[in-house]
């Protein structure tokens, strides 16, 4: 347990947490919405520093990141806790653990040195802070990210984007890539399904891109909730206003946690979403959780050549040449080179 970053002290030992856009006002003895930051006698503490609840060497495509060192592995870590309470969370066992286990914290202690050593031993090219919203274990993630950089490892966040601009500016210098969930394009969805708000997520996507972090965006299509052509078009339009080269992943929903009243996303819905993304001007739109049909392959936006063919998390073909199309030479946006040794 260490003192938290990004908070301000108020009267009567109350504190305001400035880590995420909830801006929780926390009285002494209480915790924020995430369940892992606690005010103890006027000082805010992180309860999960180094308390790793999940760790695994994953294909980087699983994040998903398709334009970031394709075919490489990323050492993925997480603590318990999250600043959203999404009804469809696929990792609810750890994201909601403090809420479902009477405030208890689960995990095995790891130091930043431990994580970096494990990543190097597993021959990973990066470390991913993932599975739950990584800003809730920001202090540990940040210290690990700084150390990772010194060992030529890249850093990735898989995030819901609900962090404050202050945190975004602090994080960006040690971050190489981020996948941000843009869960819908209505505040109503965010309020009812996630207990959050839309605008801060849009702001984080914009800020991360402007600060030079490689950004990819994911939208999970939930039948009847966020999958109308109008809403998908608005998402694609928003991404286009930032950069047509930002990859957009449209992925299939599977019933889980407290949202079991919705069917699995039809494959046809993913194909329609891809078409909408392309029609609005995006260069790279991918269909996820529905392998086959070519929806996960990377094509050159110039000549249309298939550059990277994906089967699940494997890559049987990669025709990029120094980050350019092997056929016409067009530069393809992405992070294609690992850190120099």
pLDDT by 10s per residue, the chain, length 341: 899 999 999 999 999 999 999 999 999 999 999 999 999 999 999 999 999 999 999 999 999 999 999 999 999 999 999 999 999 999 999 999 999 999 999 999 999 999 999 999 999 999 999 999 999 999 999 999 999 999 999 999 999 999 999 999 999 999 999 999 999 999 999 999 999 999 999 999 999 999 999 999 999 999 999 999 999 999 999 999 999 999 999 999 999 999 999 999 999 999 999 999 999 999 999 998 766 677 999 999 999 999 999 988 889 999 999 999 999 999 999 999 887 55
Quick check: is 313 in a domain?
yes
- pTM exceeding 0.85: yes
Angle between helices 229-242 and 267-279 (to 10 degrees): 40
Quick check: is 333 in a domain?
no
| Residue of 103, 102, 175 whose CA lies nearest to 138 | 175
Residues 133, 56 share a domain = yes
Residues 69, 9 share a domain = no
Domain of 20 in residue numbering reads as 2-46
CATH number at residue 280: 3.20.20.70
Quick check: is 329 in a domain?
no
Number of domains comprising the chain: 2
Quick check: is 86 in a domain?
yes
């Amino acid at each position: 347990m260490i003192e938290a970053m990004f908070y301000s002290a108020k009267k009567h030992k109350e504190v305001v947490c400035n880590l995420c856009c909830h801006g929780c006002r926390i009285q002494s003895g209480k915790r924020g919405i995430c369940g892992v930051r606690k005010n103890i006698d006027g000082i805010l503490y992180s309860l999960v520093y180094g308390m790793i609840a999940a760790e695994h060497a994953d294909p980087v495509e699983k994040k998903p990141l398709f334009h970031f060192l394709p075919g490489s592995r990323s050492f993925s870590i997480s603590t318990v806790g999250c600043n959203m309470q999404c009804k469809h969370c696929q990792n609810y066992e750890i994201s909601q653990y403090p809420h479902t286990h009477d405030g208890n914290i689960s995990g095995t202690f790891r130091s930043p040195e431990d994580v970096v050593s494990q990543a190097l031993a597993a021959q990973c090219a990066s470390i991913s802070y993932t599975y739950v919203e990584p800003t809730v274990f920001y202090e540990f993630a940040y210290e690990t990210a700084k150390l990772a950089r010194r060992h030529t490892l890249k850093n990735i966040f898989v995030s819901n984007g609900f962090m404050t601009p202050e945190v975004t500016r602090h994080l960006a210098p040690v971050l190489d890539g981020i996948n941000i969930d843009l869960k819908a394009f209505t505040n109503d969805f965010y309020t009812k399904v996630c207990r959050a708000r839309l605008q801060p997520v849009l702001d984080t996507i914009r800020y991360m891109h402007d600060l030079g972090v490689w950004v990819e965006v994911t939208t999970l299509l939930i039948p009847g909730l966020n999958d109308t052509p109008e809403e998908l078009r608005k998402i694609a339009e928003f991404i286009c206003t930032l950069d047509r080269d930002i990859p957009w992943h449209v992925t299939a929903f599977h019933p889980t946690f407290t949202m079991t009243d919705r069917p699995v996303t039809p494959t046809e819905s993913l194909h329609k979403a891809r078409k909408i993304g392309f029609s609005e001007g995006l260069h790279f739109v991918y269909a996820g959780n529905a392998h086959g049909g070519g929806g996960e392959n990377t094509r050159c936006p110039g000549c249309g050549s298939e550059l990277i063919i994906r089967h699940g998390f494997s890559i049987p073909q990669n025709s990029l040449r120094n980050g350019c199309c092997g056929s016409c030479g067009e530069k393809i946006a992405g992070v294609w080179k690992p850190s120099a040794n």
